[in-house]
Amino acid sequence: MFTDKTIVEDIAKFLRENKIAKTLTDKTIVYESHVRRFWNSARYEEKENMIYSAVRKKDENGQDVDLEFKFNIGDLRRVLELGDSDSDPIIIPKRLCKGRWCRMGFTGHFEW
pLDDT at 111: 66
pLDDT at 92: 66
Q: How confident is the model at residue 4 (pLDDT cuts 50, 70, 90)?
A: low
- C-alpha dist (Å) from residue 99 to 4, 10, 105: 30, 24, 10
Domain ranges of the chain: 5-87
pLDDT at 89: 63
Instruction: Of 4-18, 20-34, 41-55, give the range with the top mean pLDDT.
Output: 41-55
Do 54 and 65 contact (CB within 8 A), yes or no?
no
pTM over 0.75: no
Report the pLDDT averaged over residues 93-106. 75
